[in-house]
Structure 1
Amino acid sequence: MFKKADVDLESFQQYDIELCYENWTASEIIPAIVKTNVSGFSIIGHIAHLNLKEEVLQYKHIIGQVLMDKKPSLKTVVNKTGQIDNTFRNFKMELIAGEDNMIAQAKEHGFTFEFDFSKVYWNPRLSSEHQRVVNEIKKEDVVYDVFAGVGPFAIPAAKSRKAIVFANDLNPSSYESLCKNIKLNKIKTEIHCSNLDGREFIKTIVKPDILKRWENYMETGNKTNLKVVMNLPALGIEFTDTFQSLFADIDENIKPTSSDLLPYMYVYCFTKSETPEADVKQRLESTIGSQLPDNFTIHNVRNVAPNKEMMCVSFHMPAEILFRQKPEEGCGPEVKKRRIELEENNS
């Protein structure tokens, strides 16, 4: 074959090449050590965040060091050791390599977010979802971000979409970072921050502001699109019961007659059902005590774990929910059951 190709075999030379640690990537070295691939970790600024399985925990420090060696931008590697706390949306972690420095700076769609990763919730896998929702917001819309975190919805909505934003988070660390990130991104449009429980935020800030928008519409005819973002997947559906009878006591003259004037909801949730859309719809309707409007949508955000999906339900909150007289019990059976379970788990 070589002769036919007119190749001079005498011109060939032989060399010995020694391959060492520097010649291999992290994805090649780690399986050789632990006999399984470690995938799915996140990078947040200079921090790598892993969620290691129990069978590889004995190799955690080696894994951490390999990642740092192969990714020069990394200075800290942590491993998740507990579930996300439903109150402040953070989780316990351990340092397995590098510096004990949790102050991270993450970039997302041209915006900068700085925060203490050990005290707040941040997931780079939600970048596309943040952008999807922000792209649906128009200039001078009003956005009520009930669980704003450090601002991945609120800050782009205020700066790139020129929306009026009310951003809230119960976690003091998230609230502090949110306020700092507003300055860091040089937000000049109207954005208001608060550090309240989600239900309190809806009752004391969202309600009076919506009333002001409705009153302005009756006087001027200028319609304002109202967007409510509820990104707390573990409990988001349960918080929608706050909208039951929220405006039952208002003057009949300012009640809007068009669904376009009602708050448009983005409600996030998890589901482990084999029929996720049907499960989410049933749970949400049980909580608000009414059927969803015909034009509601359910968006599959991402697969969180085997048989666990993160979903987003979008719809105009029905007028019959907002304006009906307050029920005697205050909430539906689904919400009561969930609250009892949470109290038992936290006791």
Structure 2
Amino acid sequence: MPPPTPSTEELFRPPVLRPFSGTLDRSLFSKTIPLAAATVSSNQNIARYRRELEKAKEILCVDRINAIAAHPDPVLASQGKKCLLLDPSAKPTQPETWGAVLKGGVEKDELGVIPYELKLDYSYYGFLDVITSILPEELHDEIPSGFNAAGHVAHLNLREPYWPYKALIGEILVDKNAHIRTVINKVDNVGTESEFRTFAYEVLAGPDDMDVEVRENDCAFHFDYSKVYWNSKLEKEHTRLIGMFKPGEVVCDVMAGIGPFAVPAGKKGVFVWANDMNPESHKYLTEAIKRNKVGQYVRPFNSDGRKFIHEAADSVHAAATAGEHAVIQKKARRHRQDNGATEKELPPPEKVPIPPTIAHFVMNLPASAYTFVHHYRGIYAGKEDLFVPHTSTKLPLVHVHCFALKSDDEVPLLDICERLTNELGVKMVPGDADNYGEASIHNVRDVAPAKRMFCATFRLPPEVAFAPRT
């Protein structure tokens, strides 16, 4: 009795290389898969027969393999002859294994059937294919395939069971990601060992080169990844909040980092007072402001965020009182003269004044930002006339990033509101941020099996904003 025919999945599965010897031998991933191929008498019929064979599920359908291949005969291949790779169930010398479309094409002398050897090597397999063929089966459930990328650097946070394979993991990641040259592994907890959210790391593969360039929200950033905080997985959150800011408003970014909120907002015509306590972040923030030409809108500061909340409110009010503004030069208009000639007419520039109040505060320090919110007390003491009901201006929205339990019920929302209540001295409940005493809580991302990052947005309560300063 002949052995059962392997399934397509089994045929294309990488070889099992366990137990692992300690050295990545890429040649061991080479294999030859015997197939049948349909030769096409006229290349004009290739597209038609491909469609018909696909519809009948008689053609090879495997990721990253093109079913149209050069003829295996080098002479015919040099003449442009091609063939269609067939599903592994079809055998070149066994017509009983052929499907109806293939048989019909052969009967019409439009198709022929020949053996074909499909050769695969290490370059064909993806990261997960390679690593699962090497790692012990008990480690397959949580293979570290995801990483935080900063330019050419891939940043991993490997769990202890994977430490014996860390160099191998780094080597394969470099192989399988064209933009990655360096792979590092974090060896402490961000925000625990460093108040600047930097971390100690070890290089798993590639050079120890942490000088990176990244682009996000149509802005360019350059920085030393070992000296500042950057998380590419927060791009969606950066974009979400920036979308809430309106041109001509003022945003205070209390923990701005190198400017992933501030710089794109400035490009949008939003005034931003951007602060970070880390001198290195301030340096690269200043560089990003200049590089992206948003200096009219974004001002960098290097201060403790607790102090900066009041400092920013006072500074913005002083800038507005002094008549500070941005200048927008409008595009030239073409003006037709009496003699028929045209000349460019440059309209006068538009002045965009800095408003006297801040519309949004951003606090992207999830480990501890909520502990800063009591510093809003008295921020606009004595300036009640700047806000509703005396004007149409509402008190600022505060966006506080924080960590909480990962749960699909209200437990994390209630926990976050309880923390805000304790800090503000005003009762906060989940709800609509436009209503005083309510917080809109957005699920940002999961950061661990039982831990989730949220953003709590609330309108600063009047009893906090207008309280006497202490």
Q: TM-score by structure 2 length?
A: 0.63
CA contact (8 A) 1:159 1:189 kept: no
Say if 2:400 is the partner of 1:267: yes
In 2: Cα distance, 1:79 partner to 1:105 partner? 19
Determine the structure 2 residue equivalent to 1:320.
463
Determine the structure 1 residue equivalent to 2:146.
40
CA contact (8 A) 2:319 2:356 kept: no
Determine the structure 1 residue equivalent to 2:277.
170
CA contact (8 A) 2:149 2:231 kept: no
Task: Report the residue type matching 2:427 in the other structure.
Answer: Q
Deviation for aligned residue 1:110: 1.3
Deviation for aligned residue 1:273: 6.2
Determine the structure 1 residue equivalent to 2:121.
20
Q: Within 5 Å, which residues of 2 pair with 1:279-318?
A: 279-292=415-428, 293-294=436-437, 296-318=439-461
State which of 129, 137, 150 in structure 1 corresponds to 2:258.
150
Q: Which digits, 9 at most, give the CA deviation of each residue in 1:93-123, with x for residues without a partner? A: 1111001110111111211111111111111
CA contact (8 A) 2:127 2:145 kept: no
Deviation for aligned residue 1:213: 5.5
Task: Report the residue type matching 2:127 in the other structure.
Answer: A
Query: For 1:119, what is the secondary structure of its paired residue?
Result: coil
Q: 1:19 to 1:215 in 2, by over 3 A?
A: closer
In 1: Cα distance, 2:296 partner to 2:133 partner? 53
Q: Within 5 Å, which residues of 2 pair with 1:112-261?
A: 112-160=220-268, 162-210=269-317, 226-248=359-381, 250=382, 254=385, 256-258=387-389, 260-261=393-394
* Alignment RMSD (CA, Å): 2.7
In 2: Cα distance, 1:183 partner to 1:211 partner? 24
Deviation for aligned residue 1:277: 1.0
Task: Report the residue type matching 1:319 in the other structure.
Answer: P
Segment of structure 1 superposing worse, 269-278 or 165-174: 269-278
Task: Flag the structure with higher strand content.
Answer: 2
In 1: Cα distance, 2:311 partner to 2:206 partner? 44
Determine the structure 1 residue equivalent to 2:174.
68
In 1: Cα distance, 2:314 partner to 2:427 partner? 22
In 1: Cα distance, 2:426 partner to 2:200 partner? 38
In 2: Cα distance, 1:3 partner to 1:72 partner? 40
Q: 1:148 to 1:12 in 2, by over 3 A?
A: same
Q: Which digits, 9 at most, give the CA deviation of each residue in 1:270-295, with x for residues without a partner? A: 11264111111111111110024255
Q: 1:324 to 1:154 in 2, by over 3 A?
A: same
CA contact (8 A) 1:214 1:256 kept: no
CA contact (8 A) 1:68 1:75 kept: yes
Task: Report the residue type matching 2:226 in the other structure.
Answer: S
Q: 1:289 to 1:28 in 2, by over 3 A?
A: same
Determine the structure 2 residue equivalent to 1:344.
none
Deviation for aligned residue 1:211: 6.9
Query: For 1:64, what is the secondary structure of its paired residue?
Result: helix
CA contact (8 A) 1:214 1:255 kept: no
Query: For 1:187, what is the secondary structure of its paired residue?
Result: coil
Q: Which digits, 9 at most, give the CA deviation of each residue in 1:296-326, with x for residues without a partner? A: 3111111111121111111221110122246
CA contact (8 A) 1:230 1:267 kept: yes
Segment of structure 1 superposing worse, 286-295 or 14-23: 14-23
Q: 1:208 to 1:183 in 2, by over 3 A?
A: closer
Determine the structure 2 residue equivalent to 1:55.
161
CA contact (8 A) 1:260 1:316 kept: no
CA contact (8 A) 1:103 1:117 kept: yes
CA contact (8 A) 2:368 2:402 kept: yes
Deviation for aligned residue 1:229: 0.6
Query: For 1:13, what is the secondary structure of its paired residue?
Result: strand
Task: Report the residue type matching 1:30 in the other structure.
Answer: I
Task: Flag the structure with higher helix content.
Answer: 1
Question: What is the identity percentage for the equivalent residue pairs of Structure 1 and Structure 2?
Answer: 37
Q: 1:3 to 1:296 in 2, by over 3 A?
A: closer
CA contact (8 A) 2:218 2:264 kept: no
In 2: Cα distance, 1:288 partner to 1:203 partner? 15
CA contact (8 A) 1:159 1:188 kept: no
In 2: Cα distance, 1:96 partner to 1:237 partner? 35
CA contact (8 A) 2:182 2:207 kept: yes
Task: Report the residue type matching 2:180 in the other structure.
Answer: L
Deviation for aligned residue 1:208: 4.1
In 2: Cα distance, 1:72 partner to 1:183 partner? 30
Segment of structure 1 superposing worse, 269-278 or 61-70: 269-278
Query: For 1:14, what is the secondary structure of its paired residue?
Result: strand
In 2: Cα distance, 1:315 partner to 1:23 partner? 50
Deviation for aligned residue 1:242: 0.5
Task: Report the residue type matching 2:294 in the other structure.
Answer: I
Q: 1:207 to 1:309 in 2, by over 3 A?
A: farther
Deviation for aligned residue 1:76: 0.7
Deviation for aligned residue 1:215: 11
Q: 1:121 to 1:289 in 2, by over 3 A?
A: same
Q: 1:117 to 1:251 in 2, by over 3 A?
A: closer
Deviation for aligned residue 1:157: 0.8
Q: 1:157 to 1:6 in 2, by over 3 A?
A: closer
- Residue segments in structure 1 that go unaligned for 5+ positions in a row: 331-347
Task: Report the residue type matching 1:42 in the other structure.
Answer: N
Say if 2:246 is the partner of 1:103: no
Query: For 1:128, what is the secondary structure of its paired residue?
Result: helix
In 2: Cα distance, 1:282 partner to 1:23 partner? 52
Task: Report the residue type matching 1:143 in the other structure.
Answer: V
CA contact (8 A) 2:252 2:358 kept: no
Q: Which has the higher contact order (CA 8 A, sep 6+)?
A: 1
Task: Report the residue type matching 2:200 in the other structure.
Answer: K
